[in-house]
């Protein structure tokens, strides 16, 4: 990460197992994010999707990108310029917690935001 990047971990944009569908809580959080992005238009946002380790590596790679795209589309629907986003999928490769427990797997199923100034 360069000095022009700031990592913002989202502990609110969560997903169910094998799903890229946003939960109601995630939508509420993203409404707040859209307000911030609509008010401050001078930076780019990288969306990085993640999964837990259940499932194949290929499935998790595709699912992580799908999750990031779902967040992007939700924010675009709220009026954010699509050109402000880049998408990455990390699959199961950067867990925040263990995938040995359901609680850990839940934490690992997420989308992170990286602000690029």
pLDDT by residue, tens only, the chain of 117 residues: 454 556 565 667 888 888 999 988 899 999 999 999 999 899 899 999 999 999 999 999 999 999 999 999 999 999 999 999 999 999 999 999 998 999 999 999 999 999 887
What pTM was computed for the model?
0.89
Angle 80-116-39 from CA coordinates, rounded to 5° = 40
Instruction: Give the CA dihedral 62, 33, 78, 108, nearest 10 degrees.
Output: 20
Residue 72's SS3 state is helix
Q: Note whether residue 29 is domain-resident.
A: yes
Indicate the pairing of strand 5-8 with strand 44-49.
Answer: unpaired
Dist CA 86 CA 107 (whole Å) = 23
Q: Note whether residue 39 is domain-resident.
A: yes
Query: How many domains does the chain fold into?
Result: 1
Q: Note whether residue 93 is domain-resident.
A: yes
């Amino acid at each position: 990460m360069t000095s022009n990047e700031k990592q913002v971990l989202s502990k609110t944009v969560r997903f169910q197992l094998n799903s890229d569908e946003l939960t109601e809580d995630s939508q509420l959080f993203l409404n707040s994010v859209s307000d911030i992005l609509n008010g401050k238009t001078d930076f780019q946002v990288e969306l990085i999707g993640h999964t837990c380790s259940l499932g194949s590596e290929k499935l998790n790679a595709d699912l992580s990108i799908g999750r990031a795209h779902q967040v992007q589309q939700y924010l675009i629907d709220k009026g954010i310029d699509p050109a402000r986003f880049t998408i990455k999928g990390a699959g199961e490769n950067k867990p925040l917690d263990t995938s040995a427990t359901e609680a850990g797997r839940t934490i690992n199923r997420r989308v992170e935001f990286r602000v690029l100034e």
